[in-house]
Amino acid sequence: MLEQAQRVLKDIFGYDSFRGRQGAIIERVASGGDALVLMPTGGGKSLCFQVPALLRDGLAVVVSPLIALMDDQVATLEELGVAAAALNSTLSAEQQRDLAARIKRGEVKMLYLAPERLVQPRMLAFLQSLEIALFAIDEAHCVSQWGHDFRREYLQLGQLAELFPNVPRIALTATADKRTREEIVDRLHLQNAERFLSSFDRPNIFYRIVPKEQPRKQLLAFLAERRSDAGIVYCLSRKKVEEVAAFLSEQGFPALPYHAGLPNDLRAYHQKRFLNEEGLIMVATVAFGMGIDKPNVRFVAHLDLPKSLEAYYQETGRGGRDGLPADAWMAYGLQDVVMLKQLLQNSEGDERHKRLEQHKLDAMLSLCEETRCRRQTLLAYFDEDMPEPCGHCDNCVDGVQTWDATEPARQALSAIFRTGQRYGVGHLVDVLLGKDNEKVRSFGHQHLSVYGVGKALSESEWRSLYRQLVARGLADVDHEGYGGLRLNDSCRPLLKGEVTLELRRDLKPQVTAKTASKSPASQLVRGEEREQWEALRALRRKLAEEHGVPPYVIFPDSTLLEMLRSQPTSLAEMARVSGVGARKLERYGDAFLEVLGGAAEAPKPVADVRHELITLARAGMTPLQIAGQLRCSEKNVYTMLAEAIGKQQLSLEQALDLPEELMGEVQDAFLDGEGELPSVAEVAELFAGRVPEGVLYCVRAALQSEFEM
């Protein structure tokens, strides 16, 4: 059996060997047994049911909660030459009848379905009339009522056990905890399933957490080494998402915003672009991520602290699904703690709930201030023991220096106390450093005993110290959210001299900026390989556009990289590249060989900039934002906008976001006087410094096209 499975793996999928426990799982299911599979994101769950499906007779039925995920998998399978289809609400009645007929004729090997579809009595009866190879239940944790992805329809999937007693069932999830696991077994009636539990470690992710100093500058330094990579930047608020996306676009890093406040179609459009294009950055709130299967996300950056380690693990886990190196990078500072604690205090929910959330936040904070291996700490939180430090996180690689902060910590706490437990860190540090300023004098704080006692440390060292005091719960942040600090009872032993305190020594920002830019992920493609790499990607993109699928469906990055490194010169050599199965070899082998041999020019992307401009403008983007996205000047954007308006492809309102009054004034300027419309140059002076000249071209184009009608 395993031999047959190996052959399918190589012939269809083009891979040489199974990963982790894939082999054992496939053997179990292919021979008719049930299985419960827990594997982290990127572990390779899909093959666990796709290979058995190909080994067994009949139709394989895959239950999946999200249409986007289904479409992605179906497209991937079709590219491999496997007959797969998704039955969901996007199909017309006729398409559905058509599909049913194909299924009856045995022309479909794998059918993807939403759970609510599957459990309809008619559907169940239909399936009972067929030979079924297996049932795969993806994202099986959706059956858990305690999780955040609960889907009521999943509860009804238990009946498959009774209705199809001889059909093997495999449930898969990337959610680890024990309670969820038991719930899956119970509710899906999987008592006889063999359990396959993998480690939740994501070995290809490099973790780095840096103190937040100038977050935008730090982010740019991090991005500098990752120019054409795709990544996600998480921020807490919608406003910040917008600002950071605009900022990055201005700085030459094409970025799109994503948050729940954007109109649905714009959000969907951004998501689609992120999936289909290379090198785009998605700046997002936590609303972004569910169902994002893009395998070549090379980094996940956090500009704000996640609320829990669960969230941190899940969000960072969206990087590196393809198994290639990826970065999890975060800038974190005291302000994050203040903000989250305040949110928590003001949140609805009872005290018990708040305590639980507080607990989770504390665990997140200790990861940030951790002096040992980050990965060991993270896995320990999920009850997994990692005996040795990982050697693949900032703490392991850079080492962490600690220092005896007992005495300064007492001074810092004393400064909180003496100033009346209500000031923020800025003022406290001023007092400790003996600064002579308005605020200090107006409160008479220059007379305090702590005034000026802290000159041995720098301002940033004091800030770091306060941050760590709060993270360790020795000082509290006020509930009102002004950032004032108070003593916590737990600081008493320290004040009384009964304990000592070792703290992390923050690296200087210049140092972190330098080290943060380097990681295995940033070195994935070496300088001299760049040109050919881009040529391979361009060909992939062209093929993807022709087939209407995302680029990674043609070939994952790992396959392109292997082509780059092994430089195959014949189809036979190409066939040996991991990820090149028989079908893809036949379809694409020659084209990629040509690019590798340098015979073919890298194809130009066919996307039409003008077309895109219109879509963006209709979606409500400003000319400046559009310029950032299209990587061209704002002036250029106005020229194209004016052109589109002239052709009546866009209305003036869609193109410009001008206050009504000002718009009226501009229109009047053109309409004053008799006969011909004045030229832009003739009215430009009236609006110098008030509106960009491009606006005038747009308005004139609109008026002209009206006259011509």
Does 144 sit near ligand ADP (CB under 6 A)?
Answer: no
Nearer to Zn ion, 364 or 393 (CB): 393
Does 583 sit near ligand ADP (CB under 6 A)?
Answer: no
The C-alpha atoms of residue 500 and residue 407 are separated, in whole angstroms, by 8
The C-alpha atoms of residue 355 and residue 339 are separated, in whole angstroms, by 17
Identify which range of 45-53, 377-385, 614-622, 666-674 contacts ligand ADP by CB under 6 A: 45-53
Separation of CA 78 from chain center = 26
Half-sphere exposure of 118 (CA within 13 A, CB side): 25
Identify which range of 279-287, 390-398, 557-565, 648-656 contacts Zn ion by CB under 5 A: 390-398
Nearer to ligand ADP, 47 or 396 (CB): 47
Angle value at C-alpha 360, between 356 and 366, nearest 5 degrees: 140
Does 393 sit near Zn ion (CB under 5 A)?
Answer: yes
Amino acid at 358: Q
The C-alpha atoms of residue 235 and residue 241 are separated, in whole angstroms, by 6
Nearer to Zn ion, 389 or 452 (CB): 389
43 makes contact, choosing from Zn ion, ligand ADP, none, with CB < 5 to 8 Å by partner type, with ligand ADP
For the bound state, the minimum distance from the C-beta of residue 221 to ligand ADP, rounded and expressed in Å, comes to 30
Does 168 sit near ligand ADP (CB under 6 A)?
Answer: no
Binding residue (CB under 6 A) for ligand ADP from 44, 52, 484, 694: 44
396 makes contact, choosing from ligand ADP, Zn ion, none, with CB < 5 to 8 Å by partner type, with Zn ion
| Binders in 97-126 for Zn ion, by CB under 5 A | none
- Stretch 281-320: interaction string toward ligand ADP, x if CB under 6 A: --------------x-------------------------
The C-alpha atoms of residue 154 and residue 175 are separated, in whole angstroms, by 16
Under DSSP, is residue 559 helix (H, G, I), strand (E, B) or coil? helix
Residue 703: count of CB within 10 angstroms of its CB? 17
Identify which range of 44-52, 342-350, 393-401, 489-497 contacts ligand ADP by CB under 6 A: 44-52
Question: If 0-12 CB within 10 Å is exposed, 13-18 middle and 19+ buried, where does residue 387 land?
Answer: exposed
For the bound state, the minimum distance from the C-beta of residue 389 to Zn ion, rounded and expressed in Å, comes to 5
Binding residue (CB under 5 A) for Zn ion from 103, 390, 626, 650: 390
Structure tokens at 178: 């024990």
Identify which range of 98-106, 201-209, 321-329, 654-662 contacts ligand ADP by CB under 6 A: 321-329
Does 322 sit near ligand ADP (CB under 6 A)?
Answer: yes
Nearer to Zn ion, 144 or 376 (CB): 376
Residue 546: count of CB within 10 angstroms of its CB? 10
393 makes contact, choosing from ligand ADP, Zn ion, none, with CB < 5 to 8 Å by partner type, with Zn ion
Amino acid at 125: A
Separation of CA 618 from chain center = 26
Q: Are 15 and 9 in contact (CB under 8 A)?
A: yes
Containing H/E element for 483? none
Identify which range of 37-45, 145-153, 259-267, 627-635 contacts ligand ADP by CB under 6 A: 37-45
Binding residue (CB under 6 A) for ligand ADP from 169, 208, 318, 321: 321
Question: If 0-12 CB within 10 Å is exposed, 13-18 middle and 19+ buried, where does residue 62 land?
Answer: buried
373 makes contact, choosing from ligand ADP, Zn ion, none, with CB < 5 to 8 Å by partner type, with Zn ion
- Stretch 487-506: interaction string toward ligand ADP, x if CB under 6 A: --------------------
Binding residue (CB under 5 A) for Zn ion from 396, 433, 524, 535: 396
| Binders in 525-564 for ligand ADP, by CB under 6 A | 556
For the bound state, the minimum distance from the C-beta of residue 1 to ligand ADP, rounded and expressed in Å, comes to 17
For the bound state, the minimum distance from the C-beta of residue 304 to Zn ion, rounded and expressed in Å, comes to 23
Q: Are 680 and 697 in contact (CB under 8 A)?
A: yes
Q: Which residue has the tokens 């793996």?
A: 9
Q: Tell me, by CB under 6 A, how many residues bind ligand ADP.
A: 18
Residue 602: CB partners within 8 Å, gap ≥ 6? 534, 535, 538, 539, 595
User: How many residues make up the chain in this entry?
Assistant: 709
**DSSP code per residue over 278-313:** SS-EEEE-TTS-TT---TTEEEEEESS--SSHHHHH
85: phi then psi, degrees, rounded to nearest 5: -150, 155
323 makes contact, choosing from ligand ADP, Zn ion, none, with CB < 5 to 8 Å by partner type, with ligand ADP
Q: Are 256 and 283 in contact (CB under 8 A)?
A: yes
44 makes contact, choosing from ligand ADP, Zn ion, none, with CB < 5 to 8 Å by partner type, with ligand ADP
Binding residue (CB under 6 A) for ligand ADP from 29, 34, 46, 200: 46
Separation of CA 504 from chain center = 29
For the bound state, the minimum distance from the C-beta of residue 76 to ligand ADP, rounded and expressed in Å, comes to 8
- Stretch 12-31: interaction string toward ligand ADP, x if CB under 6 A: ---x--xx--x---------
- Using a CB cutoff of 8 Å and minimum separation of 24, what contacts does 374-379 make? 374/207, 374/209, 375/201, 375/207, 378/207, 378/309, 378/312, 378/313, 379/199, 379/200, 379/201
| Binders in 360-399 for ligand ADP, by CB under 6 A | none
390 makes contact, choosing from Zn ion, ligand ADP, none, with CB < 5 to 8 Å by partner type, with Zn ion
| Binders in 369-388 for Zn ion, by CB under 5 A | 373, 375
Angle value at C-alpha 20, between 19 and 22, nearest 5 degrees: 70
42 makes contact, choosing from ligand ADP, Zn ion, none, with CB < 5 to 8 Å by partner type, with ligand ADP
Nearer to ligand ADP, 37 or 373 (CB): 37
Closest CA to 561 of 589, 591, 590, 532: 532
Residue 284: count of CB within 10 angstroms of its CB? 28
Nearer to ligand ADP, 295 or 694 (CB): 295
Closest CA to 325 of 166, 488, 557, 544: 557
For the bound state, the minimum distance from the C-beta of residue 39 to ligand ADP, rounded and expressed in Å, comes to 5
- Chain residues that interact with Zn ion, rule: CB under 5 A: 373, 375, 389-390, 393, 396
- Chain residues that interact with ligand ADP, rule: CB under 6 A: 15, 18-19, 22, 39, 41-47, 295, 321-323, 556, 578
